[in-house]
Each structure stands twice: as structure tokens, then as C-alpha cells.
């Protein structure tokens, strides 16, 4: 669904008919005299990945935290699965940029932590945690501690923890920014597989144009503060050509170039 604040690219294979898992409705956020977000509206399709992309300071993380219920908007509302967000809830899980792991806990206990907080029995939560540890490629590291892992492995633990609580919506704040390029590309491929098989709604903050186009079903381009939605892009033709072929596809390359042309004005 395209709002009055957005426009579509006719050459990007745009499809606007979908069921929304998350609706952002006329959100404004002020920090004192500073207006971070202004009357922002945006729909997030169920079961798809939407990237929030824009220049530094444009309010991407602020919007993510409002959706998570970690920040209260000055005005407007966020609706998740038909319910207005007033605080954090079990329908949403957050994957932090800085891992946010418990240093004294093993990988298994870190991944099971959210389930423990929900009162899930030990055997059940450890079984579920073990499944997602395997799914993110960390089988065999269940009894390791965060300090024994690489940055990429710690980020996988954070992702497994978010997946294990079985939230409908996963909120990801630049989750791959702290890893090397090779690890980042592998994470991007793994994320595409998760989106395909987990049937969850992913909201993904990134500064990377290439990353956004590679992983996204929908890209929301945000303008500098006070942030508004400038444009919605829905890449389509290369989505089913296999992860190894996306970066060579002409549409992928064209969309990357077009987004850069739109954003370069705002880069100092």
C-alpha cells in the first residue's frame, strides 16, 4: 500500500496488494525542539522483508524503536496484527547491532533467554533454542561463551535468540554492520533463506544501498530529518533467480544506481 508521501517506480515491478502485518500511521516524534519524524505512514507486508534506507540521522532506528514499543511517538500510532502498540510485546523481537548478549551465559542459555523470561519450561526452551542455533549455523557451539566467538558468530546468536521466541515481527537494526564483508554477504544469503522459510515479517535498518536491494521485498527510502517516506521500491524480477545471481541481475544494478542518484543529494 503506497501512502500519499510515497511514489512508485514503474520499472521496479511494484505490487501494492498485500496484507499488512505492521501499519505505521501518521507517526511524529519530537525530541524537545528537534523533530525526528514527521507525519510518517508506512505499511509492512506480512511475511516479507522491508528495509528502511536513508542518510545518517534520518530516523531509521527511531522508527524501529517506536515499532518495537521502546519509544513512544509524539503523535500517531503503530498497529501490529490489528493491535495498537503501547509497549514491547511478544509479537515483536529485536536484533541489536551490538549483539546484546549475556557475557556470563552460554550460547544455548543466551538463545533460550527470551523463552525463559516467558516462563517456558527448561526442556522445551532448550530444545527450541538448539533448533535455531542449528538453523543459524552454530551447531556444536551450544556450550560456548560469547567471548569465545567471532563477531559474526555472536551476531548469529542474537538472531537465533530473536527467532526462538517465535515473534511475528523481527526488527533488525543494522545487524550486519560490525562484521567483515565476506561474513556480511553470507549473512545476507542466510537472511533471504530465513525470510523464505520462517513466514515472519522482517523490518531491517541498513545504510547500505546494495544490501537493501539484495535482501528486500520492499525498500522504504527516508528523507533527512524531519524524516518522511520519500519513495517505496518493490524489486521483483530477480527475487526468484537464486541468491548467487541477484547481484548480476540488470534490475538489481539499475535499482542500486537509481537509489544512489536519489540519495546522493543528502550525503555531505
> Could you tell me if 84 and 107 lie in one domain?
no
Q: Is residue 138 part of a domain?
A: yes
> Could you tell me if 159 and 45 lie in one domain?
no
Local structure of residue 49 (DSSP, 8 states) = E
Q: What is the pLDDT of residues 71-118, one digit of tens each?
A: 999 999 999 999 999 998 888 988 877 667 889 999 999 999 888 888
Taking residue 132's Cβ as centre, other Cβ atoms within 10 Å add up to 22
| Summary mean pLDDT of the chain | 84
Average of per-residue pLDDT across 52-60: 87
Q: Is residue 268 part of a domain?
A: no
Q: For residues 218 and 211, is the Cβ–Cβ distance under 8 A? A: no
First-to-last CA distance in the chain? Answer: 32
Residue 130 is part of which domain span? 92-166
> Could you tell me if 230 and 125 lie in one domain?
no
pLDDT exceeds cutoff 80 at 146: yes
**CATH classification at residue 41:** 3.40.50.300
Distance CA 220, CA 54 (A): 8
> Could you tell me if 74 and 193 lie in one domain?
yes
pLDDT band at 268 (very low <50, low <70, confident <90, very high): low
> Could you tell me if 258 and 156 lie in one domain?
no
Average of per-residue pLDDT across 126-135: 89
Q: Is residue 116 part of a domain?
A: yes
> Could you tell me if 126 and 107 lie in one domain?
yes
> Could you tell me if 127 and 54 lie in one domain?
no
> Could you tell me if 122 and 196 lie in one domain?
no
Most confident range (mean pLDDT) of 75-84, 131-140, 244-253 is 75-84
Structural domain tally of the chain? Answer: 2
Q: With H, G, I as helix, E, B as strand and everything else as coil, classify residue 121.
A: coil
Buried b (16+ CB within 10 A) or exposed e, 231-242: bbbbbeebbeee
> Could you tell me if 173 and 242 lie in one domain?
yes
Instruction: Give me the sheet containing 229-233, strands edge to edge.
Output: 92-95, 169-173, 201-206, 49-53, 218-222, 229-233
Amino acid at each position: 500500500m503506497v501512502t500519499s508521501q510515497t511514489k512508485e517506480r514503474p520499472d521496479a515491478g511494484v505490487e501494492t496488494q498485500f496484507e499488512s502485518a505492521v501499519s505505521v500511521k501518521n507517526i511524529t516524534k519530537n525530541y524537545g525542539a528537534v523533530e525526528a519524524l514527521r507525519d510518517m505512514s508506512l505499511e509492512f507486508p506480512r511475511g516479507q522483508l522491508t528495509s528502511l534506507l536513508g542518510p545518517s540521522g534520518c530516523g531509521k532506528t527511531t522508527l524501529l524503536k517506536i515499532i518495537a514499543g521502546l519509544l513512544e511517538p509524539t503523535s500517531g500510532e503503530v498497529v501490529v496484527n490489528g493491535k495498537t502498540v503501547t509497549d514491547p510485546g511478544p509479537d515483536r523481537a529485536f536484533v541489536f547491532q551490538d549483539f546484546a548478549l549475556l557475557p556470563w551465559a552460554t550460547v544455548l542459555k543466551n538463545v533460550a533467554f527470551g523463552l525463559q523470561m516467558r516462563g517456558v519450561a527448561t526442556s522445551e526452551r532448550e530444545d527450541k533454542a538448539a533448533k535455531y542455533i542449528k538453523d543459524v549455523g552454530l551447531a556444536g557451539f551450544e556450550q560456548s561463551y560469547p567471548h569465545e566467538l567471532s563477531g559474526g558468530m555472536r551476531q548469529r546468536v542474537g538472531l537465533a535468540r530473536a527467532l526462538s521466541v517465535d515473534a511475528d515481527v523481527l526488527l533488525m537494526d543494522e545487524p550486519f554492520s560490525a562484521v567483515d564483508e565476506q561474513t556480511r554477504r553470507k549473512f545476507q544469503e542466510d537472511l533471504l533463506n530465513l525470510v523464505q522459510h520462517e513466514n515472519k515479517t522482517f523490518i531491517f535498518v541498513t545504510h547500505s544501498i546494495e544490501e537493501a536491494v539484495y535482501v528486500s521485498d520492499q525498500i522504504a527510502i527516508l528523507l533527512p530529518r524531519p524524516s518522511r517516506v520519500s519513495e517505496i521500491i518493490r524489486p521483483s524480477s530477480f527475487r526468484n533467480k537464486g541468491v548467487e545471481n541477484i547481484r548480476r541481475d540488470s534490475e538489481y544494478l539499475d535499482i542500486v544506481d537509481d537509489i544512489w542518484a536519489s540519495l546522493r543529494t543528502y550525503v555531505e
